[in-house]
Structure 1
Amino acid sequence: MSSTVFGVSQFRAEREADWKRLEAMLDLIEKKSPRRLSSEDLFELPRLYRSTLSALSIARETSLDGSMIAYLESLSTRAYFILYGCRESFWKQIGSFFAQGWPTAVRGVVPEILIIAALFLGSGLAGYFLVLADPGWFGAIVPGELAGGRNMQASVETLRESIYGPPRQGGLEIFATSLFTHNSQVSIMAFALGFAFGIPTLFLIASNGVLLGAFYAAFMSKGLGVGFTGWLMIHGSTELSAIILAGAAGLHIGRAVAFPGERSRLAAAGEAGRRGALVMIGVVIMLLAAGLLEGFARQLITADAARFAIAATMFAIWVVYFTLGGRRRHG
């Protein structure tokens, strides 16, 4: 017993000065600034870190004092984050996300984007022709509270008022908030359900496409197709793009789980999940922009030409940004 105590005391005595010096440096960095370290300290910091790691390894292998091991683990962890943690400021990280992270992640899910877009378009056409063939399908596809009287039996005047009239929900800011919340929930579900091999994601996207097609049938049958498209796309060019991106991110994860290749399913899902998470951060930003366009611009701008111009401009901005953003320039 006495030899063990002596061994611990000797081990501590030989190394404690380095530990205390490393601890003092870390305190100075965390409480004030790395600039307070001298040039000698900056050179010493990596050596002291490696020395502490070595002492921790020895302490674990020889089962030395538990409190000493806990102290060394804490010290090593703090030093690790100082030396190898994120060295960019918050604003630089934000800039890096918009300049490279987000558009690069979107380009990484292009095959899934094409699949989701084709599914959304196809299901929309299916809903449109189904309701045209049998108007009774409209009530089965579109919930009554969502239709709000905009159905196959509605008059031309009622449908026209819903396109060009003021919102009935109250203040525009309240309307924008509710729309942003709803669309965010749909997008997050489309992404989250991707872990189930992407099948629920495909179903959710298809159901939303069919619903949109049913609405088109109601407006087109009354000769209001152009007006409805302008009303929808002033925000829809951003909103529908965001929902498609969310579905693509979810499908990307589902595809990685179902077909991991040479990697393990966990590793494949983890890599796909990180890329999908970057896409989804951007999706929330897109939905916020769409909510503002939907709650304000769509109600304040009633001319079809202006609505189409805004829709085309927003779609062009997203296409150019995702196509060119974050690419390395050569030469």
Structure 2
Amino acid sequence: MKAPTLSGLFGRKQDASPPPDIEAAALRSDRFRLAREGDWQRLDTIVTAMEENRLRRLSDDDVLALPALYRTTASSLAVARETSLDSATIAYLESLVQRAWFQVYGPRQGFVRWLGGFLGGGLSRAIREIWPEILVALAVMVAGVATGWLLVSGDQDWYFSLVPSQFADTRVPGASRAVLMESLSTADSAGGLSGFAAYLFQNNASVSILAFALGFAFGIPTLMILLKEMATLGAMLWLFSTRGLTLDFAAWLSVHGTTELFAILLAGAAGLHVGRSMAFPGGRSIMAAAAESGRRAAIVMAGVVMMLIVAALLEGFARQLVGDTLERLAIGGSMLVIWCAYFFAFRRVPPGAER
């Protein structure tokens, strides 16, 4: 439905003289309109140009005047409603105020543009801003691997406490080299692997989300989750090392692990970032500190979800179809290089920051 226009609303001629009360109301409406329609027309012109992406035709004065014109027109609408001016004037002002509100306060970009900014520098910038937490999370994860290795090497019963039952089928202490090697073999085809990929994504996503969500408790639960998850990896690494399959296991794991573990690392770091800001808010209130760090962590978690999808595809397909150790290492190593380059070397300059 086409929005009302000033010429259509206020340029009508009356064929007969109206009753005195109607004539008085019309006169009052005309005076109200004539005193303000210059601002309305200017706002209409500015908003129309913005809606048609003709910003270059607007002067600096027009752009600076937009908020004030919007408030003035909104005030006129309130007065028009309060004094029961003619319905045509109210309808025009309602349409104009709605259009102007969208230009002044509405979203400044659509999803495609947001996604371009997110992938084009927003995500990598957010990750670089939490680098202290990334280092802490990385240290805890390395310590978790070492802890799992040492516990199981000292007492093999720890293996069954650390490794979930679905992973401890044939991969248990005492298993032969042939049995362990078989567990690293490829599938015959890609059939049925999509379901496996979906399961892995769900499992890895739950760990990452939990590590992030518990960060509000000053990051302590997050550290415990990272330690526990990596202790499982340390226990399995010890098992395969006892049969001389350390490199084969590392290659098998690297196909998806460099992406998956990186995602879990970032999720844990995001949780620690929120927890640290709440424990040490500085000159801000705890709520303000949590809100600021939460916005940054949310961007990181959006990237974590993206990485987990990639990891699930790699784990459900590439790892199951590529059996050569060197090829697996090449895939895993390439993914690690890509992620590191994207997160830490890619530094897009925001528009307007050039000098």
Q: Which residue of 2 is the match for residue 124 of structure 1?
A: 145
Q: Which residue of 2 is the match for residue 149 of structure 1?
A: 170
Q: Which residue of 2 is the match for residue 185 of structure 1?
A: 206
In the TM superposition, 1:254-265 aligns within 5 A as 254-265=275-286
In the TM superposition, 1:279-294 aligns within 5 A as 279-294=300-315
**Distance 1:16-1:277 versus aligned 2 partners, 3 A rule:** same
Structure 2 letter corresponding to 1:190:
A
Separation in structure 1 between the aligned mates of residue 243 and residue 291 of structure 2, nearest angstrom: 49
Note the C-alpha offset of 1:207: 0.9
Q: Structure 2 residue aligned with 1:172, among 178, 193, 196? A: 193
Structure 2 letter corresponding to 1:278:
I
Are the aligned partners of 1:193 and 1:201 in contact in 2 as well (CA < 8 Å)?
Answer: yes
Per-residue Cα deviation, 1:273-331 (whole angstroms, up to 9, x for no partner): 11111111111111111111111111111111111122111111222222221254989
SS for the counterpart of 2:244 is coil
Q: Which residue of 1 is the match for residue 270 of structure 2?
A: 249
Q: Which residue of 2 is the match for residue 315 of structure 1?
A: 336
Task: Report which stretch shifted further, 119-128 or 145-154.
Answer: 145-154
Separation in structure 2 between the aligned mates of residue 105 and residue 167 of structure 1, nearest angstrom: 41
Using structure 2 for the length normalisation, give the TM-score: 0.76
Q: Which residue of 2 is the match for residue 274 of structure 1?
A: 295
Tell me, which stretches of 5 or more residues in structure 1 are unaligned? Answer: none
Task: Report which stretch shifted further, 256-265 or 173-182.
Answer: 173-182
Are the aligned partners of 1:102 and 1:282 in contact in 2 as well (CA < 8 Å)?
Answer: yes
**Distance 1:301-1:73 versus aligned 2 partners, 3 A rule:** same
The structure whose residues are more often helix, as a share, is 1
In the TM superposition, 1:198-277 aligns within 5 A as 198-277=219-298
Note the C-alpha offset of 1:66: 10
Larger radius of gyration: 2
Are the aligned partners of 2:219 and 2:271 in contact in 1 as well (CA < 8 Å)?
Answer: yes
Separation in structure 2 between the aligned mates of residue 289 and residue 179 of structure 1, nearest angstrom: 11
Separation in structure 1 between the aligned mates of residue 40 and residue 292 of structure 2, nearest angstrom: 37
Q: Structure 2 residue aligned with 1:194, among 212, 215, 230? A: 215
**Distance 1:170-1:34 versus aligned 2 partners, 3 A rule:** closer
Note the C-alpha offset of 1:84: 5.4
**Distance 1:101-1:310 versus aligned 2 partners, 3 A rule:** same
**Distance 1:292-1:52 versus aligned 2 partners, 3 A rule:** closer
Separation in structure 2 between the aligned mates of residue 306 and residue 250 of structure 1, nearest angstrom: 34
SS for the counterpart of 1:326 is coil
SS for the counterpart of 1:164 is coil
Separation in structure 1 between the aligned mates of residue 76 and residue 50 of structure 2, nearest angstrom: 27
In the TM superposition, 1:51-90 aligns within 5 A as 51-54=69-72, 56=74, 65=82, 76=97, 78-83=99-104, 85-90=106-111
SS for the counterpart of 1:151 is coil
Structure 2 letter corresponding to 1:280:
M
SS for the counterpart of 1:288 is helix
Separation in structure 1 between the aligned mates of residue 222 and residue 98 of structure 2, nearest angstrom: 40
Note the C-alpha offset of 1:52: 4.0
**Distance 1:29-1:208 versus aligned 2 partners, 3 A rule:** same
In the TM superposition, 1:4-19 aligns within 5 A as 14-15=35-36
Separation in structure 2 between the aligned mates of residue 195 and residue 67 of structure 1, nearest angstrom: 53
Aligned-CA RMSD value: 3.8
Separation in structure 2 between the aligned mates of residue 149 and residue 49 of structure 1, nearest angstrom: 69
Per-residue Cα deviation, 1:198-226 (whole angstroms, up to 9, x for no partner): 11111111110111111112222222211
Are the aligned partners of 2:39 and 2:73 in contact in 1 as well (CA < 8 Å)?
Answer: no
Are the aligned partners of 2:189 and 2:321 in contact in 1 as well (CA < 8 Å)?
Answer: no
Percent identity of the aligned residues?
Answer: 44
**Distance 1:79-1:164 versus aligned 2 partners, 3 A rule:** same
1:303 aligns with 2:303: no
Separation in structure 1 between the aligned mates of residue 49 and residue 69 of structure 2, nearest angstrom: 19
Tell me, which stretches of 5 or more residues in structure 2 are unaligned? Answer: 1-24
Q: Structure 1 residue aligned with 2:114, among 82, 93, 96? A: 93
Q: Structure 2 residue aligned with 1:139, among 150, 160, 164? A: 160
Are the aligned partners of 2:186 and 2:321 in contact in 1 as well (CA < 8 Å)?
Answer: no
**Distance 1:256-1:168 versus aligned 2 partners, 3 A rule:** farther
Q: Paired residues, what number? A: 323
**Distance 1:195-1:16 versus aligned 2 partners, 3 A rule:** farther
Per-residue Cα deviation, 1:86-140 (whole angstroms, up to 9, x for no partner): 5445433322222211111111011101100110110111011101111111111
Are the aligned partners of 1:100 and 1:327 in contact in 2 as well (CA < 8 Å)?
Answer: yes
1:50 aligns with 2:68: yes
**Distance 1:169-1:47 versus aligned 2 partners, 3 A rule:** closer
Using structure 1 for the length normalisation, give the TM-score: 0.81
